């Protein structure tokens, strides 16, 4: 009997449902050809949650997620909910609430530049001619975004504002362990980024990462100050494998890494909690400007599914097949509107989903004997 694996699917708003639709095609192929037994159930989140249940995170959704083995999310939000108070808007009441409920403290954001998409990068060709593949691992629930005290006060006539950057050793340790374990499996090197020449919290960050690194002698680790890291990413992105960093620095550096790949429509992400329960979603938002036009790029969503297969299903070899299929589709010159310079010749969201599905079946057929002998 194949092990049953339950995914809670939360399409959300905007292009979310359109790109999620394309992942079902992939899931169907995985079940049919790759010996998996993935069962899916859809739940509302964000704006559609507000519309159907009066809240961005309906109870039914929360219970469904808790009963599942992983969450695959589309995106939430849109201008039709902008009039609501901030805490009732889809992002806060839906997505941020869900992240908080599950305590997703670890965020993975891969930024890969495909050779076929080099022209989209704002970096010069000679810098990126070999492509790059950076995995940003960002601490997501600590640091200055949540540290207390914070506030705006008055001193006489003059206002002043303050935030607190605070890290506990356990917060640094748990994310460092995840980074080292990923590095170990993939033979990657880690660059830990901090500002330990100025900040006490960064001194603790660096010392703790150094301490944890002793438990993983086979992983190479180096340390960079965040200002230098920001420069190095532009100067020579190929030098990085994993960037491990705090909430604030990760927020900025992961966007910098995303930018130099050229398109947000290609970038997936994953978030984990202490039990390694994971939620997977595209790095971009609900893109209301292109909603219902069949032009959204479904690759970020399909790559999010691929990360789910790798990290939650623990089937990296199958995830590789999905990634190879995407690469092969791009190699053949098929591109959605956001990743082509020829605005007259592009494939639609649905066509891109179909192409990746076809190429995935081809990958299966090419490797069938091998897959059967390895019982995959």
Q: Which residues are catalytic?
A: 145, 195, 227, 251, 255
- Least Å distance between CB 268 and ligand NAD? 11
By the criterion CB under 6 A, which residues form the site for ligand NAD?
A: 15, 75-78, 91, 95, 264-265, 281, 284-290, 296-297, 300, 338
- Is residue 40 helix, strand or coil? strand
Identity of the residue, 5 or 280, whose beta carbon is nearer to ligand NAD in the bound complex: 280
DSSP 138-161: EE-SSGGGT-SS-EEEEETTEEEE
Identity of the residue, 81 or 240, whose beta carbon is nearer to ligand NAD in the bound complex: 81
Task: Give the number of C-alpha atoms closer than 13 A to the C-alpha of residue 57, restricted to the C-beta side.
Answer: 19
Rg over CA atoms, the chain? 21
- Least Å distance between CB 282 and ligand NAD? 6
Helices 299-311 & 349-366 angle (0-180, nearest 10): 40
Strands in 37-42's sheet, in edge-to-edge order, are: 37-42, 4-12, 70-75, 278-282, 268-272, 106-113, 132-139, 242-245, 190-194, 221-225
- Least Å distance between CB 26 and ligand NAD? 16
Compute CA distances 4 → 71, 72, 307, whole Å: 15, 16, 18
Identity of the residue, 134 or 266, whose beta carbon is nearer to ligand NAD in the bound complex: 266
Identity of the residue, 196 or 286, whose beta carbon is nearer to ligand NAD in the bound complex: 286
- Least Å distance between CB 174 and ligand NAD? 23
Q: Which of 238, 279, 221 is nearest to 57 (CA)?
A: 279
Identity of the residue, 9 or 172, whose beta carbon is nearer to ligand NAD in the bound complex: 9
- Least Å distance between CB 207 and ligand NAD? 33
| Cβ-proximal residue to ligand NAD, closest one | 285
Phi and psi, residue 193, nearest 5°? -115, 130
């Amino acid at each position: 009997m194949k092990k049953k694996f339950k995914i809670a699917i939360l399409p959300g708003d905007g292009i979310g449902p359109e790109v999620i639709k394309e992942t079902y095609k992939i899931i169907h192929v995985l079940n049919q050809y790759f010996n998996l037994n993935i069962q899916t159930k859809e739940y509302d989140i964000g704006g559609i949650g507000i519309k159907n249940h009066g809240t961005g995170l309906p109870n039914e959704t929360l219970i469904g997620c808790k009963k599942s083995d992983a969450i695959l999310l589309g995106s939430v939000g849109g201008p039709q909910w902008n009039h609501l108070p901030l805490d009732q808007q889809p992002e806060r009441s839906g997505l941020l609430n869900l992240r908080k409920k599950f305590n997703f403290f670890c965020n993975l954001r891969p930024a890969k530049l495909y050779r076929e998409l080099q022209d989209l990068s704002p970096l010069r060709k000679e810098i990126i001619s070999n492509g790059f593949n950076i995995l940003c691992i960002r601490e997501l629930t600590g640091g200055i975004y949540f540290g207390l005290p914070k506030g705006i006060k008055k001193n006489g006539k003059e206002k002043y504002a303050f935030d607190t950057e605070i890290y506990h050793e356990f917060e640094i340790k748990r994310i460092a362990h995840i980074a080292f374990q990923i590095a170990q499996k993939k033979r990657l090197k880690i660059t830990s980024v901090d500002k330990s020449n100025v900040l006490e919290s960064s001194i603790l960050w660096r010392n703790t990462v150094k301490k944890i690194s002793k438990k993983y002698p086979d992983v190479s680790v180096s340390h960079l100050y965040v200002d230098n890291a920001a420069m190095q990413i532009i100067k020579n992105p190929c030098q990085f494998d994993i960037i491990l960093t705090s909430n604030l620095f990760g927020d900025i550096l992961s966007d910098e890494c995303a930018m130099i790949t050229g398109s947000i429509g290609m970038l997936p992400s994953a978030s984990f909690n202490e039990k390694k329960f994971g939620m997977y979603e595209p790095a971009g938002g609900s893109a209301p400007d292109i909603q219902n036009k069949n032009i959204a790029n479904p690759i970020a969503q399909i790559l999010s599914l691929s990360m789910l297969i790798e990290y939650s299903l623990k089937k990296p070899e199958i995830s590789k097949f999905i990634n190879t299929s995407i690469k092969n589709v791009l190699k053949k010159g098929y591109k959605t509107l956001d990743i082509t310079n020829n605005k007259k010749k592009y494939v639609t969201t649905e066509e891109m989903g179909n192409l990746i599905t076809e190429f995935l079946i081809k990958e299966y057929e090419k490797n069938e004997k091998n897959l059967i002998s390895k019982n995959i």
